[in-house]
Amino acid sequence: RRNLQSRCSPKSSARAQIAALSRLIVFAARAASCLSVRPAKPEDIRQVSRIVSTSFQGQPSWRDGPIILAQWKWRCFQNEALMTTRLASLAEREACFVGIRTDDGEERVVGWVDVRLVCFDEGDRTVHTSIPYAAALRPSDFRMRPYVSNLAVEECSRRQGVATALVRASEQHALRAGFDELMLEVLESNFEALELYKSLGYSLEQCDGCALHMQRREFWYESVLVPKLRLVKVFTASTSPA
């Protein structure tokens, strides 16, 4: 009885919690130590396309039915084609980065971010990616702004600093490219992403638009318009990336 009481005592419980927390801290430190960010390469695209598809549409299985599975595979194929084209046609001040986890000397892609230049309409405050260089023709109406697109991290590597490292790399790139800000847009319902960006110094900017999102139904994906938010970080002496 004494042994049982000693095992269940508050002191032993506290010691167990402290030991578990210590192991978690050690694991997080090791995970951070083998994480790096580098420019994306063509050979990364296949892994990246699956990460992006899974991040935004989930990971279906054969139990979900043939329609959802076919739509998801088609989406992966589309992402791979679009990203291959994107990587081959980067403008001078644009970049794509991947987060790399190194385990036993083996590199594995765990995240992706695309930093592109967009044309911002000062009148209706909308972003145009299809006419990015209109700012050079009509500088009084448009201006070029660096824009974070498709930030994605594989599920098993989330909450380990990957997204933060990718955002920091994007900020450093924007600063080197001569910009004093970085802009991004996120779904209004993506609370985790909003908390991350706000913790990194991003603030809300006026945005009345919606984003096209692949919403999962019971047996298929459906394209729907959902509200989005725009966030901006202006680089100052105290907020510039390290």
| pLDDT one-digit tens code per residue, 53-67 | 888 878 877 778 888
What stretches of the chain adopt beta strand conformation (E)? 35-39, 95-103, 106-121, 126-128, 142-153, 181-187, 203-205, 210-216, 221-234
* 0.85 exceeded by pTM: no
Q: Among residues of the chain, what percentage have pLDDT more than 90?
A: 38
Q: Choose from 48-52, 132-136, 222-226 the range with maximum mean pLDDT.
A: 48-52
Quick check: 176 pLDDT over 80? yes
Decide: helix, strand or coil at residue 142.
Answer: strand
As a whole number of angstroms, the distance between CA 184 and CA 186 comes to 7
Q: Residue 141, Cβ neighbours under 10 Å: how many?
A: 13
CA angle, 156 then 162 then 165, to 5°: 180
Q: What is the reported pLDDT for 85?
A: 93
What confidence tens digit (pLDDT) does each residue in 70-104 have?
A: 888 888 898 899 999 999 989 888 999 999 998 87
Share of the chain above pLDDT 70, in %: 77
Q: Measured between alpha carbons, how far is residue 15 from residues 4, 21, 27, 234 in Å?
A: 16, 10, 18, 45
Of the candidates 46, 60, 30, the one whose C-alpha atom is nearest the C-alpha of residue 98 is: 46
